[in-house]
Amino acid sequence: MPVSPETGLIVARGPPWSRRKWIQKAPPAWYRNADALSVPQKKACVALGEAAHAAYGTMGKTPYKGISMPAVAVKVAITVPKGEGAHGGKSKEKRRSDAHTAARASLDALKASI
């Protein structure tokens, strides 16, 4: 997906059912600002980059989960740690608990303003 340097918009192909062949999308929040990434996101980026760098030069196809895929992609998929908390992020329960606590604080602030 090419990015327009003037606007920062991502240019992508439109969906098959659309008349528009090309669409422009807003870039992610961290575009041109690596400081906007959290530490777990940075760790995931580093892990992916290291795995891709180590897989350089791998050729051929390999069956992976019932599909014949490029061997490089399979090597990277196996190497990169996956799953909840693999890079130090919050678990689903912790994220849910934090959201519940924040909602209560928001409701209390709203109630106090009445």
Q: What is the 3-state secondary structure (H, E, C) of the chain?
A: CCECCCCCCEEEECCCCCCCCEEEECCCCCCCCHHHCCHHHHHHHHHHHHHHHHCCCCCCEEEECCEEEEHHHHHHHHHCCCCCCCCCCCCHHHHHHHHHHHHHHHHHHHHHCC
Q: Is 109 within a domain?
A: no
Mean pLDDT score of the chain, rounded to an integer?
A: 86
Q: Is 24 within a domain?
A: yes
* pLDDT one-digit tens code per residue, 76-110: 999 998 877 777 777 888 889 999 999 999 999 99
Q: Is 50 within a domain?
A: yes
What range does the domain containing 63 cover?
Answer: 37-81
Do 44 and 62 fall within a single domain? Answer: yes
Residue 1: pLDDT band with limits 50, 70, 90:
low
Do 72 and 47 fall within a single domain? Answer: yes
Do 77 and 42 fall within a single domain? Answer: yes
pTM beyond 0.75, yes or no: no
pLDDT at 3: 59
* pLDDT one-digit tens code per residue, 46-70: 999 999 999 999 999 999 889 999 9
Do 70 and 43 fall within a single domain? Answer: yes
Q: Is 114 within a domain?
A: no
